[in-house]
Amino acid sequence: MAGFEGFEKRLELQFTGHDDEDHSPTSDLGLRRLCFQTLESILHLVQCTVVSAVSNHYFDSYVLSESSLFIYPNKIIIKTCGTTQLLKSVRPFIRHARDLGLSVCGCKYTRGSFIFPDSQPYPHSSFKDEVVYLEESLPDHLCYKKATVMPSNLPSMTWHVFAAADESHLLDNFSGDTYTVEVCMTKLDQTLARKFFRRPHDGKGSDLAGKEMTEITGIGDINPNALICDFAFDPCGYSMNGIDGDRYSTIHVTPEDGFSYASFECIGSAYDVGRVVKKAVQVFRPAIMSVALTCPAGRRDLWARIGGALKPMGYKCRSCVADEFPTNENIVFQTFSTRMN
């Protein structure tokens, strides 16, 4: 029997219909007007549920039974693991957004290589099936599309990307120093991974057990300014969403021996990319990992800061590839391993 699939599928949908340039709290909640019952119905199609939630003035954050959901006024980010059918959320999200007067203008789907690919149901049975499903689900005006598999020197680590945009999103000036980083870690240090197991019959709720895991593992130190919503699964496993102003971070852990996996994702600023990734990696000390950095065009230089931060920890960069996408972003995909791997 296959173990639990830790590698997440990640979907980001961008919408227009209100002041996208104003990142301060406004009276126009946009997508945040989607009621909880609507979200539940969409998540039911995906085959996951909400287990915890927290919000601020900028966005709503949900910890799911299998990963995370973030809803901004003009953007939805959802990532799910296991055998969830994430792409079944595309059509209903677009339909319900249309009812709110919002139109989809950009889409990006990313994932790593599954540990147990044969266990994935349609449309996640192959990247080709995923791309066909996305193309059939998106409206025709998202006519600028690109699908690619970014390779590496580690056969178990490849990065799959599909991006689509309409003309307005394509021509939008995506600038600044903001990045999104997705770190996928396997073969976790066994001693550190044990911290994500609960003691049998501990009598604690999942929220309290999760808070203790956040403290004893050092996850709370990655961004001390973040408000953390954490959740511990029984008998093992952990998820957290952190919110800091208009930026999020999220961690998900599958600690079982043989298929241990942890992911870290966040939005940040260029100056801290190396420091943040280093702090996250220190929590797990994986033998193998990939880092996918999404950044504005012209800022590929940020990848060097990640390698520079990981090298003193004993990690060697095994491969580095970069590509441009119609969402006005570059993705730099790197793989690392300890020197004995």
pLDDT at 179: 87
| Amino acid identity at 277 | V
For the chain, 341 residues long, give each residue's pLDDT as a single digit of tens.
466 787 899 999 999 985 444 444 444 899 999 999 999 999 999 999 999 999 999 999 999 998 999 999 999 999 999 899 999 999 999 999 999 999 999 999 999 999 889 899 999 999 999 999 999 999 999 999 999 999 888 877 899 999 999 987 664 544 566 789 999 999 999 999 999 999 888 889 999 999 999 999 999 999 999 999 999 999 999 999 999 999 999 999 999 988 899 999 999 876 688 899 999 999 999 999 999 999 877 666 778 889 999 999 999 999 999 999 887 788 999 999 996 66
pLDDT at 291: 96
pLDDT at 25: 40
pLDDT at 65: 93
What residues are labeled active site? 5, 8, 67, 81, 239, 252
- Cβ neighbours of 237 (radius 10 Å): 22
CATH of domain 9-338: 3.60.90.10
Burial of 146 (0-12, 13-18, 19+ CB in 10 A): middle
pTM of the model: 0.92
pLDDT at 178: 78
Per-domain residue ranges of the chain = 9-338
Matching residue, tokens 């009276």:
27
